[in-house]
Amino acid sequence: PETKEILKHCKDGINGDFAIGAQYLSEIQGGSDVPANVLEAVNENGTWKLYGTKFFCSATHADYAVVTAKPVGSEKVALFVVPSWLPGNKEKEMRNGYTVDRIKWKMGTSELTTAELTFNGAVAYPVGPLDKGVANVVGIVLTYSRLTVGLSAAAYMTRAVREAKKYTEFRNAFGLTIGQFPLVAVQVNRIDRMAKRTTAGAFKLYRDFLTLEGGLKGGLATDEPEAVRKNRFNIRELIMLQKMAAAWDCTDVIRESMSIFGGHGVMEDFSSLPRLYRDSAINELWEGPRNVLLTQIHRDLQKVSGWYKPAEFVRHILSGLNESTIKELADEITELVAYPNLFQPDEKTMDICRRWDAFCHRFFHAYQDLALKEVE
């Protein structure tokens, strides 16, 4: 009943009050390695309580947070939802058994507090089976967060390019508006296309996400009809690919937009671009930095290769694109996914990693181009 009330508070609101949610996963010893969590969950007379420290906790003003922790005696990570205040205690400023130890000073998203927290008996409610915490975090919590990163990257890029384009229309230098110089025009056209294809790709993916039968699920589900499984897998991987590619492209586009302004581009009191640039750099890192996502995608494709071949995955995603591009990408992904893993410290593996990094970016750009083609 508690978790249902929390969901209602966040999703539908209670008496006009809509709760804010957050997620606290990272610990100092593991970072993105959630299975390495050591925060303990103890069942005390039927009530779960958390003990330990979380190292990166963003949105610490939230009403609730999903928190990963290991039940005592288990090596499996479980997922809990933790109220920041127990009923009636928010007005009294009495937190639910935890302290805010330190507010971190980070380069971007400064208005969003990120802190170190210590839990000392915080009341928590399990979400899903206790042995499926990692699967639910990756398959549901992080997947949704990564989806929003892709959307925000599109928004940042659109804002930055729009301001740069407008600036080229009235800024004069050497007797011309700067937009009349071919080098500037080429640069603006390039970043404008990147912003448009990122936006088109983000909305195409979000549309498909909204129609996903059964919503997000933890792990790689195998108990559904094959067509549903494949569609679910497509969306899961595309969300990771988008997070990786769009966040990376966003920083490049904002940097190029700032360069259009010359010295004004880095002036904090001239435009919002320096702030967007810093925020974009943060977007690259949270919800899984680039290398973590690249590794996860590679492993996912290997895990499902028995019922979903990598080449078929490419053909499904890029259906409607020209056949030569599809074949080239399908052939390459087949070779790259056949490589056992990305963990061996040798030259062959490093070469595969270089190719895999470039392939994933190129593949998602092809998806974005297809999305843009649908709306142009």
Q: What is the pLDDT of residue 31?
A: 76
pLDDT digits (tens, 9 = 90+) for 249-299: 999 999 999 999 999 999 999 999 999 999 999 999 988 899 999 999 999
**215 pLDDT more than 90:** no
Q: What is the pLDDT of residue 218?
A: 83
pLDDT digits (tens, 9 = 90+) for 272-286: 999 999 999 999 998
CATH class of the domain at 2-130: mainly beta
CA distances from 19 to 59, 64, 296 (A): 12, 8, 31
pLDDT digits (tens, 9 = 90+) for 130-181: 999 999 998 899 999 999 999 999 999 999 999 999 999 999 999 999 999 9
Q: What is the pLDDT of residue 214?
A: 81
Confidence bin at 126 (pLDDT 50/70/90): very high
| pLDDT, averaged across the chain | 95
pLDDT digits (tens, 9 = 90+) for 33-79: 888 889 999 999 999 999 999 999 999 999 999 999 999 999 999 99
Q: What is the pLDDT of residue 329?
A: 98
Q: What is the pLDDT of residue 35?
A: 83
**221 pLDDT more than 80:** no
Confidence bin at 91 (pLDDT 50/70/90): confident
Instruction: Provide the CB-side half-sphere exposure for 156 (13 A, CA).
Output: 31
The rounded distance, in Å, linking the Cα atoms of 61 and 72 is 28
Instruction: Give me the helices (H) in the chain, please.
Output: 2-11, 133-136, 143-170, 182-210, 226-260, 273-285, 290-303, 310-317, 323-338, 347-375
DSSP state string for 248-295: HHHHHHHHHHHHHTGGGGG-TTT-SHHHHHHHHHHHHHTTS-HHHHHH
Query: Around Cβ 202, how many Cβ atoms within 10 Å?
Result: 24
Q: What is the pLDDT of residue 29?
A: 87
**230 pLDDT more than 80:** yes
Q: What is the pLDDT of residue 234?
A: 96
Confidence bin at 353 (pLDDT 50/70/90): very high
DSSP designation for 178: G
Residues near 167 by Cβ (< 8 Å), separated by ≥ 6?
A: 178, 260, 261
Using DSSP's 3-state secondary structure scheme, residue 219 falls into coil
Positive or negative torsion for Cα 210, 216, 220, 225: negative
Per-domain residue ranges for the chain?
2-130, 134-375
CATH class of the domain at 134-375: mainly alpha
**333 pLDDT more than 90:** yes
**88 pLDDT more than 90:** no
Q: What is the pLDDT of residue 213?
A: 83
Confidence bin at 96 (pLDDT 50/70/90): very high
The rounded distance, in Å, linking the Cα atoms of 168 and 92 is 54
Q: What is the pLDDT of residue 89?
A: 87
CA distances from 278 to 106, 109, 273, 282, 285 (A): 9, 7, 9, 7, 12
